[in-house]
Every structure is written in C-alpha cells, then in structure tokens.
Amino acid sequence: MSAAPFRPHPLAVIRAVGTVTFTEILRDKVLYNVILAAFLLFGLSFLASTLTFLRPERVILDFGLSALRISCTLIAVLTGAGLLGREFERRTIFVALSRPITRMQYVLGKFAGLAALLAVNWALLAALYFAMVFAQTGSFEPLASSTLLAAIALVYLQSLVLSSLAILFSTFSTTSLSVILCLGFTLLGTNITELRLVSEKMSAGLGKTLLSGAAVALPNLEYFDLGLKLAYDLPVSAAFAATSLAYGLTLTALSLLAAGLLIKAREG
C-alpha cells in the first residue's frame, strides 16, 4: 500500500504563507512612503495645534486620527491590491497552489500577513498619536474618552475590511484597477447617508433606482466612523460597537471567501 500524501495542518499553512507575505511587504517601498506621509501629517497636526489658542488638544485629536485612518487605508488598499496581482504576474501563485495548499488557505495566509503588518503600523502610529497628545497637554486625560478609543479601534477594523476588498478585486483585475475600485468603494462607502438623501430627493426613475440600489449594495463604511459622536464626545453604545464589529468581520469573511472562489478563474 502506498503511503498517504502528507497534508500539513491548515493553520500551519496559513501561518507560513502569512509569514512570507509579512516579510515581503516589509521590503515594499510603498509601505515606507505611506508611513513617512503619516509621520508628516502628524507633524503638521502638532504644528497646527501650537498655532491655535482654542483647544489645541482638539486639533491634535482630530488631525491625528485622520492621519491614522489615511495611513491604514492607503496601506490596506495599495498593498492589498498588489498581493495577488504580483503573484499572477510572476506566475509564482501556480507554483504555490501546486503544493498541498488550498486556494482558501493561500488567500487567508496572504490576508493574515497583511493584517499583521497593518496591526504593527496601527500600533506604531497610535503610540505616536498618544505621545503627541501627551506632549501638547502634559497628560493622557484627553485620551481617556471611550469614544476616542473606540474610534481608534474602528480604524483598524476598517483597514481589515478594505484589505479583504482589495484582495478580492485583485483576483479579477489588474493591480492599478484594483486600487481604483477599492478607493472608489471607500469614498462611496463613507458617504452612504448622503447617497440615500440624494436618492430620496430624486424623482422616480432609473437614476433613483440605481442610486438607491448602490446605497444598499455598497459596503457601508460609516459603521467604522463615529462622526458626530467623536466630535462631541458622545458615548458609543454597546449595540453600535457590536454591530460594527459583526458587520466588519462578516464583510471581511465574505470578501475573502469570494476571493478564494474567484481565484480559480485567473488560473485558467
């Protein structure tokens, strides 16, 4: 009797692919350009806070959070869109899939590596954010707001969602088109309420139907933006936090599942 082929544990496969992906991203110049841009934005926010006499800590809080969000978004989109695209261009994906590894394990490994890199970037910039607030105010009291901490956590959750969408788009389009699609979804997804308001004011017709359908079908990224709650330091309910978490994880899981299913089309 012939011995059964060796099948590594799925988690071990995902971890191995994730480790390689994490290392590859660290060598990507785009990563360091985005992080450098984030540091410059933090510096501008600190400079702006020194030039205002009305609640300078508010300037740092607002500008700093925006810098954190922009950095995580750009890394998620620019890096995520190229993860599978480069593999198809180099044909290395076919070598990887010829081994005892499923397409889903490969996609999850790629996502895991990117998620780990995003976590490092998010933690680094969040620490810098806290340090800037302390340097300006002399205390961490402004950071004691549960709403602000929730907003910072939602930035990372949104970056995971955008990463999964970028990976999904890269399974059926080029890297540049995936970036354009993901950025477009980001801009529209953060303005779902405005889309609904515009569609409600339109007269019945094809335009109204398309706009209403888009508001329903597009990923609603407003779940990850506290908006007025953060501006006025209003409490975030446990129901809203749970809904945002569930929505983000569900959307991420569905995007990765679709990517795993669609990747076979590009193999042909």
User: What residue segments make up the domains of the chain, in order of their start?
Assistant: 10-190+225-267
Alpha-carbon distance of 226 to 231, in angstroms, equals 8
Indicate the range of 87-96, 146-155, 185-194, 201-210 predicted with least confidence: 87-96
For residue range 215-243, what is the model confidence (pLDDT) as tens digits? 889 999 999 999 888 877 789 999 999 99
User: How high does pLDDT run on average in the chain?
Assistant: 86
Alpha-carbon distance of 194 to 69, in angstroms, equals 21
**Is 259 in contact with 164 (CB distance < 8 Å)?**
yes
Q: Is the pLDDT of residue 2 over 70?
A: no
How many CB atoms are located within 10 Å of the residue 232 CB? 8
Per-residue pLDDT band for 5 (boundaries 50, 70, 90) equals low
Per-residue pLDDT band for 138 (boundaries 50, 70, 90) equals confident
The better pLDDT of the pair 77, 141 is held by 77
Indicate the range of 1-15, 26-40, 71-85, 148-162 predicted with least confidence: 1-15
Alpha-carbon distance of 60 to 44, in angstroms, equals 9
E-strand stretches of the chain: none
Alpha-carbon distance of 223 to 243, in angstroms, equals 8
With a CB cutoff of 8 Å and minimum separation 6, the contacts of 123 are none
Q: Which helix (H) or strand (E) holds 208?
A: helix 206-217
Alpha-carbon distance of 234 to 146, in angstroms, equals 9
Length of the chain, please? Answer: 268
Q: For residue 138, what are its two tokens?
A: 């002399």
pLDDT of 1: 44
Alpha-carbon distance of 159 to 117, in angstroms, equals 11
SS (H, E, C) 145-191: CHHHHHHHHHHHHHHHHHHHHHHHHHCCCCHHHHHHHHHHHHHHHCC
Per-residue pLDDT band for 9 (boundaries 50, 70, 90) equals confident
